[in-house]
Amino acid sequence: MKIRPYLTFNGECAEAIELYKRAFATQSMEIMRFSEMPPIPGFDIPDDFKDKILQATLTIGSDYIRMSDCGPGHSLNAPETERISLAVEARVDEIKHAFDILAEEGRIGIPLEETFYSPLAGVVFDKFGVMWNLVGSK
């Protein structure tokens, strides 16, 4: 059994994928849009929703996260403190790179600094309100 983090967005999942690809220098992913979903009787996808993300998988190191947009007629209203947080452990240079990109339009929760458990660690909320705990390897 494995547990995978799953992030849900209000129509900006494709934009989040691009941000996370830059932050974590990854290209491995699968993307399925609502337009690719098999037909379901009585459930029509609005035209303006067909390009939204039904499900995406993004590899970060040897792990992966899954993500999607809310379905038609739904919205996510949780404040950032109620959203999922993700912990990423990597080399110090990778942590610095990811932190800088995620903070560009986000908010720094804890600045990157040396700690008793890591040569470089910090917390950043990206522009979508997802909290990232970034920890550099010793």
Supply the CATH number for residue 101's domain. 3.30.720.110
How confident is the model at residue 89, as a pLDDT?
86
If asked whether residues 72 and 86 sit together in one domain, one would say no
Rounded Cα–Cα distance for residues 120 and 138 (Å): 9
Range of the domain at 48: 1-77
If asked whether residues 57 and 108 sit together in one domain, one would say no
If asked whether residues 116 and 99 sit together in one domain, one would say yes
- Looking at residue 4, its amino acid is R
What does the longest C-alpha to C-alpha distance in the chain come to? 57
If asked whether residues 20 and 86 sit together in one domain, one would say no
How confident is the model at residue 19, as a pLDDT?
95
What residues of the chain score a pLDDT lower than 50? none
Structure tokens at 80: 């950032």
